[in-house]
Structure 1
Amino acid sequence: MTEPAHALPQGFDGTLVAGALDAALAAGERTPVMGIAGLQGSGKSTLAAQVAALGLCRGLRVAVVSLDDFYLGRDRRLQLAREVHPLLATRGPPGTHDLPLALATMARLRDGADVVLPRFEKLADDLAPRAQWPLIEGRCDLVILEGWFLQTPPEDAEALRDPLNDLERLDDADGRWRQYCNTALARDYPPLWESIDALWFLQGPGFEVIPEWRWQQEQALQAADPMRKGMSRSEVERFVQFFERVSRQALRTLPAIADRTVPLDRQRNSAR
């Protein structure tokens, strides 16, 4: 079947995108859920958009959901920062998501019920007003859930003992923050992972490339919205340290867990 390439966003090779769509549609008897995992800047949102666009070209209804849209609101994270650990004010790591909201949303999507999809405004660092959440009416043919640590298992307790970067050494010397995140990953996220029928992992060449990829993202966001207050290079380098531990765990474990692993080079090119 020849796909109308002009209708598809640019990014990954069309053969890869078509293979992802076909595999996802074959993954479940009910509304199948395709998970796309990959570290920051690996192209998760791009692949999700391409698969959704190809589905639209085929006459399918596809809903795209991001794990980022299930962040806890700013007030709730600030409460965690006061009661548990100051680092929990920063969104992103395990333990900073609204899992009941995520589970309820995914359940309604799988059941074909009407549902509003949460939207998180990263610039405001808070959930968008509920009136701005898009409404999905009726059953979709496919749901795509993209997120940087989908189905990543927790680490062993011994692995948490020693800090691995300056953030952990200086701001989490006693390990309480990383222990909290690891416990949340073990206890709270598996029910959400169970909603995924097929997982694809975009495997970057190593965590060392993530600061550069995240900096490229920041520059692109700033170019698209010059009024936006962006992060400096040093702020980006600190920010990615919040994600380093779980990112390295994902790189170690997801190739054996994912239904398909797509290796990427430093330019995000995949093998065809």
Structure 2
Amino acid sequence: MTTLWPSNLTADALSSSQQPVIQQLSQVADQVWKTMPQAWQQQIQSCWLPLASHLAALATRYQEQHQKPAILGIHGGQGSGKSTLCNALAEVYKVAFNWKVAVISIDDLYLTKAQRQQLALDVHPLLTTRGVPGTHDVQAGLTLFEQLRSLNNQKLLSFPSFDKIADDRSSTDQWHSITGPVDLILFEGWCVGCKAGTVAELQQAINTLEQTEDPDGQWRHWVNQQLREAYQDWFAQIDYLLMLKVPGMGAVQQWRTQQEADNEKASKSQGGMNPAQIQRFIQHYQRLTERALNDMPGYADLVLELNEQHQVAAIRYAKDTSLQAEQ
């Protein structure tokens, strides 16, 4: 059997006194995670179950020490499976432990279309396109974390959702909701945990979008400044950072195309992006995605390296060298 999980992060991380809890987690994992992609279902025992046990141990320990839920950040390139993983973890913890898990996507905190259109007029035309730092409501995100961490028993909290096909914030009747108290907060997004680059590295355009629509670098410098300032305050709230490391931009293109098709099926709106539009769209993300691929493994707490088949090929833990699968 293929072993992926690092030996220093054993699946019984909840301690021997809580073995019944671990067994319960194991019993429900196969049942709950049947909705996961087929490629991931093949790795439930070697990767996802020990990951769930490890994160549950961290969350339990944090709750005991701080009397509030931990915030787990999950970073990954577009289409890497961030939402899939978060929803699976939330469901597993609900069934096994009766936990209330808040899943916060950074995408749900995009500025409205009207707000981004105003940014496009005030700062740069490229800011009408959602995604990059500066197109989210950071203060709303910080406030949401505070509200979730202090949510009282039986108190209901609603928070925004975003319709990617309509490219705008959903109506309030489509918002997410959760009843307190919250046991764990999962915060996922393509730029979650990213750090700003240097001024020097911003000088050279890296793709057609930057060459033709941002030739003087105004847009990318402004985005970098947003990431350096307000977003670092936001990301500083993260207690543990997990990275789903994509193979490269080619995989992002392929997986984002599939994601667009799935979004269109799930949305009440019509008119998703075609392949050419998707290719242009992901060029907005390329600079930060490639920087994260280079830099984030050096500071993320846990890195799951994905291969072209969308499976976990290796695991890096706390800046250690890659722990490759052992056959």
TM-score bin (small chain): over 0.9
Matched pairs, number: 272
> Shift in Å at residue 7 of structure 1?
2.3
Normalised by the size of structure 2, how large is the TM-score? Answer: 0.78
Q: Does 1:269 align with 2:311?
A: yes
- Pick from 62, 68, 87 the counterpart of residue 107 of structure 2: 68
Residue 251 of structure 1 aligns to which amino acid in structure 2?
L
The verdict on how the C-alpha distance between 1:23 and 1:270 changes in structure 2, with shifts beyond 3 A counting, is: farther
2:312 match: secondary structure: coil
Does the 8 Å CA contact 2:165/2:264 hold for their aligned counterparts?
Answer: no
| Deviation by residue 1:66-116 (Cα, 9 ceiling, x = unmatched) | 000100011110001011100000000011000111110011111225532
> Shift in Å at residue 27 of structure 1?
4.2
| Deviation by residue 1:115-169 (Cα, 9 ceiling, x = unmatched) | 3211111122111123432332322111111111111110000000010000000
> Shift in Å at residue 256 of structure 1?
1.4
| Deviation by residue 1:227-267 (Cα, 9 ceiling, x = unmatched) | 73121111111110010001111111111121100010012
Does the 8 Å CA contact 2:166/2:270 hold for their aligned counterparts?
Answer: no
Distance 1:261 1:69 in 2: 24
Does the 8 Å CA contact 1:209/1:266 hold for their aligned counterparts?
Answer: yes
Distance 1:138 1:218 in 2: 33
- Pick from 112, 116, 121 the counterpart of residue 82 of structure 1: 121
1:189 match: secondary structure: helix
- 55-64 or 107-116, which deviates more: 107-116
Unmatched segments (≥5 aa) in structure 2 = 1-22, 314-324
The verdict on how the C-alpha distance between 1:258 and 1:24 changes in structure 2, with shifts beyond 3 A counting, is: farther
1:64 match: secondary structure: strand
The verdict on how the C-alpha distance between 1:223 and 1:128 changes in structure 2, with shifts beyond 3 A counting, is: closer
- 250-259 or 162-171, which deviates more: 250-259
- Pick from 101, 110, 134 the counterpart of residue 149 of structure 2: 110
- 124-133 or 74-83, which deviates more: 124-133
Does the 8 Å CA contact 2:62/2:69 hold for their aligned counterparts?
Answer: no
Distance 1:224 1:142 in 2: 26
Q: Does 1:37 align with 2:70?
A: no
Does the 8 Å CA contact 1:18/1:51 hold for their aligned counterparts?
Answer: no
> Shift in Å at residue 207 of structure 1?
2.3
| Deviation by residue 1:175-205 (Cα, 9 ceiling, x = unmatched) | 0000010000001101111221111100111
| Deviation by residue 1:46-71 (Cα, 9 ceiling, x = unmatched) | 11011101110121111111000100
> Shift in Å at residue 222 of structure 1?
4.2
Does the 8 Å CA contact 1:116/1:136 hold for their aligned counterparts?
Answer: yes
Which runs of structure 1 show a deviation greater than 6 angstroms over 4 or more consecutive aligned residues? none
Does the 8 Å CA contact 2:245/2:293 hold for their aligned counterparts?
Answer: yes
Max radius of gyration: which structure?
2
- 29-38 or 78-87, which deviates more: 29-38
Normalised by the size of structure 1, how large is the TM-score? Answer: 0.94
Does the 8 Å CA contact 2:138/2:230 hold for their aligned counterparts?
Answer: yes
Distance 2:234 2:269 in 1: 36
Q: Does 1:3 align with 2:27?
A: yes
Does the 8 Å CA contact 1:31/1:112 hold for their aligned counterparts?
Answer: no
Counterpart in the other structure of 1:137: 179
- 230-239 or 158-167, which deviates more: 230-239
RCO comparison, higher one (Cα < 8 Å, 6+): 1
After TM superposition, the structure 1 = structure 2 runs for residues 67-216 of structure 1, keeping only pairs within 5 Å, are 67-113=106-152, 114=155, 115-216=157-258
Q: Does 1:258 align with 2:300?
A: yes
The verdict on how the C-alpha distance between 1:225 and 1:101 changes in structure 2, with shifts beyond 3 A counting, is: closer
Does the 8 Å CA contact 1:73/1:127 hold for their aligned counterparts?
Answer: yes
